[in-house]
Amino acid sequence: MKKNQQSQLELKRTKAACAKSARRHHQALGESLELQKHLRELTHRVLASQEAERAKISHELQDEVAQTLLGINVHLLALKKEARSGAVGLKNEITRTQQLVLRSAQSVRKFARELELQQPT
């Protein structure tokens, strides 16, 4: 009987240890799933933030390019007028228009670099 009681006691201990281990594993699994969910949410927020920043830069770039093109158009109209009235200020107008085009190109390059810097690696 004593051996049978010891076996039963050992069996109870083993079952209790298994149950405790199962509870710990179940708890760890739950924590792991929560962490995965949290990581997915953080990843989504980071990606959404990056996309919003890219959209903002894109709109700024479009606005800047549109404004520059309008300025170039105004200068070209002035050139047309100068060409009709004489060549006195024509050279200066052409130089100003070229400078405007250069500034526009530099601005576009600046925005492009900013976009490149924001790209995830």
Q: What is the pLDDT of residues 76-97, one digit of tens each?
A: 787 777 777 666 677 777 778 8
pLDDT at residue 73, as a whole number: 80
**3-class secondary structure, 86:** coil
Q: Which residue has the tokens 């479009």?
A: 62
Highest-pLDDT range among 25-29, 60-64, 92-96: 25-29
Compute the distance between CA of residue 79 and CA of residue 89 in angstroms, rounded to an integer. Answer: 8
- Residue 1 scores a pLDDT above 70: no
pTM: 0.55
Least confident of 28-32, 34-38, 48-52: 48-52
Q: How many CB atoms lie within 10 A of CB 102?
A: 10
Question: Between these two residues, 93 and 35, which has the higher pLDDT value?
Answer: 35
